[in-house]
Amino acid sequence: MSASDADVGAVVTGIGVTAPTGIGIQAHWQSVLDGKTGIGRITRFDPESYPVRYAGQVPGFAARERVPGRLIPQTDHWTHLALAAADDALGDAGVDPAGLPEYEMAVVTSSSSGGTEFGQHEMERLYRNGPSWVGAYQSIAWFYAATTGQVSIRHGMRGPCGVICAEQAGGLDALGQARRLARSGYRLVVSGGTDSSLCPYGLAAQLATGRLSTVDDPLRAYLPFDAGASGYLPGEGGAILIVESARHARERGAGEGYGSILGYAAGFDPPPGSGRPPALRRTITAALADARVDADGVDVVFADAAGSPDLDRAESAAIGAVFGRRGVPVTAPKTLTGRLYGGGAPLDVATALLAVRDGVVPHTVGVTEPDPDLDLVLGEPRELPLRRALVLARGHGGFTAALVVGTSHR
């Protein structure tokens, strides 16, 4: 890579995690390497009467310990999780935003559900008591952009801010946009995302897709690429990543941080019944081309791992078409968390960067009868030198994205 390439690159210099696998990078990464699941019976409400009763929930999160007092009553749990992760990510990056020009910092996050739990509470007040009982904060707390806005206000970041709503693919789209901003001159972008929709209203909305698993066993309900695949379990949380321009990171001595965002592409599936193939294969190809690497340049794939047989087959076919049959190690640590929607892909990217850092591919927990066409990493983590990881994500309705992260050195 030439010096000018390095100057226009985007690097990840900080990570904050609030996920079912733990709070903080260390707790999360240790859980992933140990194969310790964060999925259990839903405790945020009584799920007894619902066909899905298990989910990934963030253990031991207390908003009053992690979120400024003024922000707690005016934001949803999903934003609490992001505010805490953003603090951790900035601390991890060693950045004090107060010392940087406010218009050179931006916030771009993903959100799939918005503040459904907050909204449910206010709707209950509406139909039980009347309109005057609906709180003023409902106007801002439910909104998809609430997390981005509150992070922007809290840290004084007034560059181009936005939110991307593309279900599970949105996290990669947000990081793709963060990279675009960093490459066009902005110093720092707070990106990634979280989601949390574990309330009756939120779960009912998720059930409508028909993609959730109703298997009554938290360890057997979400088994992507397995002969017993039956759908997925939902989860809450995600990861916030600090994306910096490579030049700025280098100038302040942060080097390449955890690694670079090397390539990104997005696609959208054709309508059902069109006969045309899904977008994933060409999205992967486009992301590799954007990263200027060929298939041999990718050492591991973090799969979308939808958990439904038809979607798993489509993903396996796309990976096989680009990398060859069993041509690249594939993993899906998200079986430990459930699918986190807007938070899922940022957590996968964080995990992928930690994998590259430590030279170890975490295993996919739970799967026992894997798709024979995939080299799915099972049983235990696999140690091997890693330069680059490809992270895939698909969102309900056709959203598709692919991101290549790792070292920019060839």
Partner 1 sequence: MTSFTLDDLRELLGSIAGVDESTDLSGDIADVPLADLGYDSLAMLELAGHVQRRYGVPIPDEAVERMTTPRSTVEYINAQFATVG
Among 74, 214, 230, 285, binds partner 1 (CB under 8 A): 74
Sign of CA dihedral 368, 371, 372, 373: negative
Least distance between partner 1 and beta carbon 133 (Å): 7
The nearest distance, CB 72 to partner 1, in angstroms, is 5
Task: Report the distance separating Cα 390 and Cα 348, nearest Å.
Answer: 10
Shortest CB 381 distance to partner 1, Å: 40
Q: In the complex, what is the shortest distance from the CB of residue 259 to partner 1, in angstroms, rounded to a whole number? A: 35
68 is a site residue for partner 1 (CB under 8 A) = yes
Stretch that binds partner 1, among 47-55, 135-143, 238-246, 349-357 (CB under 8 A): 135-143
Q: Based on the shown chain and the rule CB under 8 A, indicate whether residue 378 belongs to the binding site for partner 1.
A: no
Stretch that binds partner 1, among 65-73, 165-173, 221-229, 242-250 (CB under 8 A): 65-73
Is residue 139 part of the contact set for partner 1 (CB under 8 A)?
yes
Q: What is d(CA 256, CA 407) in angstroms, rounded to the nearest whole number?
A: 8
Residue 145 Cβ vs partner 1, minimum distance, rounded to whole Å: 15
Burial 23-45, CB ≥16 within 10 A → b, else e: bbbebbbebbbebebbbeebebe
Q: Does 66 bind partner 1 (CB under 8 A)?
A: no
3-state secondary structure of 50: coil
Distance CA 355, CA 385 (A): 9
DSSP 136: T
Using the rule CB under 8 A, is 123 a contact of partner 1? no
Span near partner 1 by CB under 8 A; candidates 134-142, 179-187, 251-259, 334-342: 134-142
Q: Which stretch binds partner 1 (CB under 8 A): 137-145, 213-221, 280-288, 377-385?
A: 137-145
The reply on whether position 73 binds partner 1 by CB under 8 A is yes
Q: Nearest approach, Cβ of 140 to partner 1 (angstroms)?
A: 7
Among the candidate windows 63-71, 200-208, 308-316, 363-371, which touches partner 1 by CB under 8 A? Answer: 63-71
Contact criterion met (CB below 8 Å) for 114 and 100: no
How far apart are CB 142 and partner 1 at their closest, in Å? Answer: 14
| Paired tokens of 246 | 């490579």
Question: What are the CA-CA distances from residue 52 to residues 14, 55, 91, 229, 238 (Å)?
Answer: 35, 8, 37, 15, 21
- Asked if residue 96 binds partner 1 (CB under 8 A), the reply is no
- Residue selected from 140, 286, 317, 321 as contacting partner 1 according to rule CB under 8 A: 140
Q: At 108, which helix (H) or strand (E)? A: strand 105-110
How many other C-beta atoms are found inside a 10 Å radius of the C-beta of residue 4? 8
Tokens of residue 2, six digits: 């030439």
Q: Are 362 and 381 in contact (CB under 8 A)?
A: yes
The residue from 1, 27, 71, 321 that contacts partner 1 (CB under 8 A) is 71
Rule CB under 8 A: say whether 135 interacts with partner 1: yes
**Least distance (Å) between residue 126 CB and partner 1:** 12
Q: CA-CA distance, 406 to 334, in Å (whole number)?
A: 20
Pairing of strands 329-331, 300-302: parallel
How far out from the chain centre does Cα 283 lie? 18
Of the CA atoms within 13 Å of residue 356, those in its CB half-sphere come to 28
Options 137, 200, 207, 295; binder of partner 1; rule CB under 8 A? 137
Which residue type does 175 have?
Answer: L
- Name the minimum Å distance from CB 73 to partner 1: 5
**Residue 221 gets which letter from DSSP?**
S
Decide whether 135 or 359 has the Cβ nearer to partner 1.
135
Contacts with partner 1 by CB under 8 A lie at: 68-74, 132-133, 135-137, 139-140
